[in-house]
Structure 1
Amino acid sequence: MSSRWRGNPWAVLLTLSLGFFMTLLDLTAVNVAIPSMIGDMHASLDEVLWVINVYILVLAALLITFGRLGDVRGPRTMFIGGVALFTVASVLCGLSQDPAQLIATRAVQGLGAAALMPQTMTIIIGTFPAERRGVALGVWGGVAGVATIAGPTLGGLLVSTAGWRWIFFVNVPIGAIVLAMAFILVPDIRHGSRRKLDVVGVLLAAATLVCLTFALTEGQRYAWNAGIWALLGAAALLLVLFLLHQGARQQRAPLLPFVLFRDRNYTVMSFVSATVQVGMLGLFLPVMIYLQSVLRFSALAAGLVMAPAMVVSAVLSPVAGRMADRIGGKYVLMAGLTLFAAGLAWLTRVTDVGRAWWEFQPALITAGVGIGCVFGPMVTVAMYHVEPTMAGAASGVLNTIRQIGTVIGSAAVGAVLQNRLAAALQDEAAKRAAGLPAGVRGQFLEGFREAAESGQEVGVGQGGAVVHPPQGTPTGLVHHLEQAAAATFQHGVVDAMRPTLALPIIVIAVGALACLLVRRRQAGSPRTAPRPADLSASA
């Protein structure tokens, strides 16, 4: 049985997709759990942002490294090791008792994801014949889109029924199944590459991302002081040093092979993949907070708001991959990115206090259609002319750039949200304080000022500030204060969301324009990548 199915392309694709799905599911499932984590662990918004960012940070810093290690040690070996580490780390995440423990275990989880993720594309390219590779990569890319959208729905179900820890524990049975399937079904594809690892390059890349992410995530907390700007400057300097170092190593197995970027389509798709991730984080982070903290939806209800868009994206992704194979991905991508940006823009107009769930569906479905038309064609266009011997490096670089977009997107969107939320809460408090008696007005304003600075203003059940009226305050006035505080909080979050969503809309629109640079494949043009039959593979 195992020998008959071993190496079967579709069985291999199913195994790889499950592992890939598991790593990406947590990325967006954590977003829906943010309000619950803040309340349960008494964490601040910037601490919970680190729970998201440290995972992406480790993933982005080490993807290229593990892509290279896959070329050297074999992608099957690295895939199995990554799945095992990710599964163990998921257990530790679920057992964490405070933000520091959760951040540390999420870093280990990111390490496992970095080990397995680049191997998925390498094995797909080595397993599928050239004429079916577009469909396979379309399914693989579709898994990315579905996982990103499914995260809030499945995460909401788990948070509502079992608690936020189960968004991590659920990975254990999935990981066990993927490990068993990998041992039985996935062949050991090797290209005979033996290259030394660029340790200096790894350290420079990691340091660049750490400086950038810390500055963006903690900027509001430290009032964008000189230290934060120094970190941003250090990130820019380290990036230059990294590129210079890579330029000097182009003949000695560089971490970032510049030869990949001689292909215009690969270069453009690398940029577009980063813009898409900024858009995804820009959608989920503020919207999940808004649905639960302002509209008081449960985590499950908030996740289900995304479900129709998830279904649409899942159905369209393979279709979009086939269309990219037949007519080229350029216009499919442009249409998808345009619809994605349009859906977000529509969402900003719908967002307000007191909305019903169905009022968001036209905007979200529009965005879902766009997402479904992006992931498959994006990967197909990027990897079309990549040689199998460079598949690990190309996959690692492409995924790294995509995750760098996620790092920057999460940090930048989080920074804008924190900044605008702090300002909006105080502005709204000032408006409503004018209608309060002088005896409680100062305390009301001070409560919101402290809430804006502490970062603990978006948890489940919170009202934006703690206001304690003096003893003997009439019951009617206390009720009036509570209503004023709730209105301040709700309108403050809504006011903060609109400029926050503007950032991903602009970035996605730039990505759509960049697709104009894609060279459209001529009908009947040969593929340069050899078929898997030309590769050495052992069962």
Structure 2
Amino acid sequence: MPQFGKPPCEDGVILSGAPAVPCSAPSKHWTLIAAILGSSLAFIDGTVVNVALPAIQRQLDATTSDAQWVMESYALFLAALLLVGGVLGDRFGRKRVFMIGTTLFTLASIGCSLSTAVGPLIVARAVQGVGAALLVPGSLALISATYPQSERGAAIGTWSAFSGITAAIGPVIGGFLVDHYSWTWAFLVNAPVGAMLLLICAAKVPESKGGTTTGAIDVAGASLATIGLAGLVFAFIEAPSRGWNAMPVWTSIVIGVLALLLFLRVETRTRSPMLPLALFRERNFAGANMLTLLLYAALGGSLFFVPLNLIQVQGYGATEAGAALLPFIAIMFAMSRWAGGLVDRFGAKLPLVVGPLIAALGFAMFTLPSVGSSYWMAFFPAICVLGLGVSVTVAPLTTTVMNAVGKELAGTASGINNAVSRTAGLLAIALFGFILTLSFNATLDHELAALHAPAEFVAAVMAQRQKLAGIVIPHGYPAGIAAALKRAVDDSFIAGFRWIMLISAALALLSSLSAAVLIQGKPRPPRA
């Protein structure tokens, strides 16, 4: 999913880490720098690519499903292998696995920048996702392995501050590079950061391992999770162009569902599962993850299409589109400490009910903008309300997950919740793209029928309909007809965009309802 800020429970992964390995003060500082650079790579990539997608689609003559695969191939392997990445670090050395992930990520970024067609770009993005699955949990584990419990709060504060800064400036920098140079620089910018990170790790960061270096790694679970998610994602992305009756589409659904069912069976029987299902017997843990699944599906699925709307329909530059969501990040950054205090005052349940309700209002407000709407009057209020709702939710959500299980399992619980948020966005982008395409095609057919434009002109547009708002209007026709056809394409995209935002609002409402039903309220003080 496009990550605008940290996923839930990343701070919890650090707080609940294993006891730190004694090391010098300089080693601690260099380790914190390495963790910040590693997280920055993932944060920047998760936001920059989203802004660069319209340029990629235009220059590589890609369809909207191709653009989805550029994002989804990365998100698929990151979501499916995230938990395994943490286990590999504990088993073989956190620094070693972190450096392997950084190397893969950096080389894949260079491969992305050298791609001259969509196919190689998608493959390079998949390799980038594997690298990120090793890099992301490693950057958090390095902090917990180096800083003792008494010093982790300050380390987390520094790490969170820099993570917030990179999440904010990443889309703006990416947009600037796309506008003034090329989309390839959105990937190539990772190369010097990755090289610097590898040098720091090799020279300054101490090695550490988990409490045990034996035991099986859940290869079967990781493989089945990847196959299952890939099957469902393939079906929803490819169904609009191939049709639901196409053998690859329905076969992928069957394979995906069977693989996920086998995954659940394997996780109940293996000694070292990547997803301990027994944790979901705890009511608060199950409720928090249900809320995460629904709310982060709405966030990941809807925010993927916002830059496409801004750039391809509203006519914004990539830099402007990258800056458009800055208020969302700024509100989350500014309110994080205040939102954390809500749990102490009211317990976790009330914020987890109210926060998603506010977010649902924000999603609903995104249905108001039309073609040519002002940013400050249409998009800005929706972004601010959505940011407020998410800000109220994230800190209580992290607290609920951390408190739902014993201290010895808090790191596992945090990692699971983190993976759930990424999986939700992965599936939502595929599903929302399918819904937007259905609405776009139906609306465009209606608009074109009312236009009475020349048949060959309409045929040239219909041949590109898989590009959605990225359709290029042919030259050589009267300006009035071309403008009317461009407006029909834009209106068709807006129609589908509104459906996505309405569904996102419904998902946010359901996440609020799940909190009201499943999350236990603040316990009453005992009677005197």
TM-score when normalising by structure 2: 0.85
Distance 1:266 1:87, change over 3 A: farther
Q: CA deviation at 1:110?
A: 0.4
Distance 1:219 1:143, change over 3 A: farther
Q: Which residue of the partner structure matches residue 263 of structure 1?
A: 282
Q: Which residue of the partner structure matches residue 19 of structure 1?
A: 38
SS state at 1:384 partner: helix
CA distance in structure 2 between the partners assigned to 1:271 and 1:125 by the alignment? 27
CA distance in structure 2 between the partners assigned to 1:95 and 1:325 by the alignment? 51
Does residue 86 of structure 2 align to residue 67 of structure 1? yes
Distance 1:307 1:255, change over 3 A: closer
Distance 1:304 1:415, change over 3 A: same
Q: Which residue of the partner structure matches residue 387 of structure 2?
A: 368
Does residue 367 of structure 2 align to residue 356 of structure 1? no
Q: CA deviation at 1:49?
A: 1.0
CA distance in structure 1 between the partners assigned to 2:332 and 2:28 by the alignment? 28
CA distances 1:240-259 after superposition (whole Å, capped 9, x unpaired):
1111122122xx21232123
Q: Which residue of the partner structure matches residue 107 of structure 1?
A: 126
Distance 1:158 1:316, change over 3 A: farther
CA distance in structure 2 between the partners assigned to 1:142 and 1:340 by the alignment? 23
Q: Which moved more, 1:255-264 or 1:216-225?
A: 255-264
SS state at 1:188 partner: coil
CA distance in structure 2 between the partners assigned to 1:268 and 1:120 by the alignment? 28
Q: Is the 8 A contact 1:59 1:113 kept in 2?
A: yes
SS state at 2:46 partner: helix
Q: CA deviation at 1:489?
A: 1.5
Identity of aligned residues (%): 30
Letter of the structure 2 residue corresponding to residue 264 of structure 1: R
SS state at 1:220 partner: helix
CA distance in structure 2 between the partners assigned to 1:404 and 1:416 by the alignment? 19
CA distance in structure 1 between the partners assigned to 2:163 and 2:191 by the alignment? 20
Give matches, 1:267-278, under 5 Å: 267-278=286-297
Q: Which residue of the partner structure matches residue 404 of structure 1?
A: 423
Does residue 333 of structure 2 align to residue 314 of structure 1? yes
Q: Is the 8 A contact 1:268 1:518 kept in 2?
A: yes
Letter of the structure 2 residue corresponding to residue 415 of structure 1: F
CA distance in structure 2 between the partners assigned to 1:107 and 1:258 by the alignment? 27
CA distance in structure 2 between the partners assigned to 1:295 and 1:287 by the alignment? 10
Q: Is the 8 A contact 1:220 1:415 kept in 2?
A: yes
Does residue 487 of structure 2 align to residue 487 of structure 1? yes
Q: Is the 8 A contact 2:468 2:493 kept in 1?
A: no
Letter of the structure 1 residue corresponding to residue 223 of structure 2: L
Select 2:467's aligned residue among 442, 448, 456: 456
Select 1:429's aligned residue among 440, 448, 452: 448
CA distances 1:381-429 after superposition (whole Å, capped 9, x unpaired):
2133555654664444333222211210111122122222222222211
CA distance in structure 2 between the partners assigned to 1:323 and 1:126 by the alignment? 30
SS state at 2:469 partner: coil
Q: Is the 8 A contact 2:287 2:519 kept in 1?
A: yes
TM-score when normalising by structure 1: 0.83
Letter of the structure 1 residue corresponding to residue 469 of structure 2: V
Letter of the structure 1 residue corresponding to residue 374 of structure 2: A
SS state at 1:505 partner: helix
Number of aligned pairs? 500
Q: CA deviation at 1:505?
A: 1.8
Q: CA deviation at 1:60?
A: 1.5
Q: Which residue of the partner structure matches residue 473 of structure 1?
A: none
Q: Is the 8 A contact 2:360 2:509 kept in 1?
A: yes
Q: Which residue of the partner structure matches residue 475 of structure 1?
A: none
Q: Which residue of the partner structure matches residue 496 of structure 1?
A: 496
CA distances 1:429-483 after superposition (whole Å, capped 9, x unpaired):
12222xx5xxx2x33443343222xx13433xx54x43765xxxxxxxx122112
Distance 1:504 1:129, change over 3 A: farther
Does residue 100 of structure 2 align to residue 81 of structure 1? yes
CA distance in structure 2 between the partners assigned to 1:322 and 1:43 by the alignment? 47
Q: CA deviation at 1:271?
A: 2.6
Residue ranges of structure 2 left out of the alignment (5+ in a row): 1-22
Q: CA deviation at 1:148?
A: 5.9
Q: Which residue of the partner structure matches residue 512 of structure 1?
A: 512
Letter of the structure 2 residue corresponding to residue 253 of structure 1: S
Does residue 452 of structure 2 align to residue 443 of structure 1? no
CA distance in structure 2 between the partners assigned to 1:139 and 1:323 by the alignment? 22
Residue ranges of structure 1 left out of the alignment (5+ in a row): 470-477, 526-539
